[in-house]
Amino acid sequence: MSAALLLGAVLAACGSDPEPKPEPAQPCSASGTDPVYAIATSIFGNEGSSTYVRLLESLDVQSIDLEQASEHAGFATIGAVGGKLFVGDGEAPEIHRYTVSDGCGLQEDGRLSFANYGPTVTPLYKNVFVDASTAYMQLEESRRIIWNPETMRISGTAEAPGLLATRDGLVVKAGYDRSTAVRGDYSFQPFYWTDSRFYRFSQLSQIAVYSNADDSLVKLIDAPCPGLDMATQDEAGHLYFSNWVFSTAAPVLSEDGPDNCAVRIKAGELALDASWTRKLSDIVGGRQTVGFRYLANGVGLVAVLHSEDMTIDDKTEPTAVTGGSHWRLWRVNVEAGTGQPVEGLGRFAGGYYAFRLDGRTFLLLPSADYAKTTVYELGVQGAAEPRFETLGWAYQLVKLR
């Protein structure tokens, strides 16, 4: 389906009048070792969904022309390592590998199926690229499939011995790729415990430390914060882990809901920095926070729930907290204890997606109906600057080379 038909279908479903089509980005002409980036955007309709992957030679464009994109079935996902593009099939447990030719042409040169291990799909948000020859695909929460992106072969599975499947009546969950950090010889993977509604959370999370040399579990680190599902690293190599949006509803709606917080593992260490654990709500007027992401020079981003904009009573549903547009993005300096909202952005749902490429930070925010996504650039200071738009929900932005 062409981009024009997709736009018409989305707008018709939303009952909106068509908007003027902006000047599209020019086709990518990169060659050799020129920079190449990829953005994935999904279009949802009554007959299902399709994902479009567009290659770019620059992030300084005004719009994305999906007629220049490759089409993939379902809610496909992307990743990059070793200069190649990987696409997680949206309708099968397969990963496809592509090389980039001159002019940003994509040539499939590998395919790997995980069907023998049981999953129906293997999205790349459940995968972590350790390096060009090692990757971990999440399997049944606490297990991992170990595979090689160079040879496109699976070497086996790995367990996390000692990790409890249940705790206080709650079940263990693994954080997604946003939660995992690779630093030196080790990979760090948070786990947390929650109920089937992702409403009740244990106060305790654990961070698994894996050896990249032999894929073994080195240790489990206790962390006194609920729902750890976000990792970020500063210039010194310190790792920070914080919660995702789901653990926010309980402390807002229940007196006994554990407060969210963030923890740190110092550079060169494999233990929690117990003296550092922070409640980021103390910086933002006592409001609940989501997804601390380090930028530079001591400054980070965090999504902040502005519950003063809500009517909260005994009938308020958790999804009104976690999925409602009552959130703002703040810049915070955790050491200084200061913060302020990012200007140039409106309110949005708390689960934001941001990517740091070439020393620049880009925020992908969909419209309320997911008909389009605006990409903003964020600096350590100043207002958020809109860079370009694309149809549908764009949720992944990677650099291939």
Give tens-digit pLDDT for 151-182: 999 999 999 999 999 999 999 999 999 999 99
Closest residue by Cα to residue 146 from 207, 88, 216, 77: 216
pLDDT at res. 114: 98
Quote the mean pLDDT of the chain. Answer: 91
pLDDT at res. 9: 35
Going from the C-alpha of 315 to that of each of 224, 312, 320, the distances in angstroms are: 30, 8, 10
Q: How far apart are CA 230 and CA 240, in angstroms?
A: 8
**Phi, psi (rounded to 5 degrees) for 178:** -65, -20
pLDDT at res. 8: 34
Q: Can you give the pTM of this predicted structure? A: 0.90
**pLDDT at residue 21 tops 70:** no
pLDDT in tens, 223-250: 999 999 999 999 999 999 999 999 999 9
Q: How far apart are CA 352 and CA 386, in angstroms?
A: 15
pLDDT at res. 338: 96
DSSP letter at 23 equals: P
User: How many CB atoms are located within 10 Å of the residue 60 CB?
Assistant: 11
pLDDT at res. 104: 79
Six-digit token string for 52: 């479009």
**pLDDT at residue 29 tops 90:** no
Closest residue by Cα to residue 324 from 232, 401, 219, 253: 253
293's enclosing H/E stretch is strand 289-296
What residue type is assigned to position 328 of the chain? R
Q: How far apart are CA 189 and CA 180, in angstroms?
A: 5
Mean pLDDT of 275-291: 95
Q: How far apart are CA 188 and CA 185, in angstroms?
A: 10
pLDDT in tens, 64-118: 889 889 999 999 999 999 999 999 999 999 999 999 988 778 899 999 999 999 9
Closest residue by Cα to residue 35 from 360, 353, 294: 360
Going from the C-alpha of 324 to that of each of 311, 316, 353, 393, the distances in angstroms are: 12, 11, 16, 17
Question: Percentage of the chain surpassing pLDDT 70?
Answer: 93
Quick one: how far is CA 329 from the chain centroid?
16
- Report H helices in 166-265: 249-253
DSSP letter at 400 equals: -
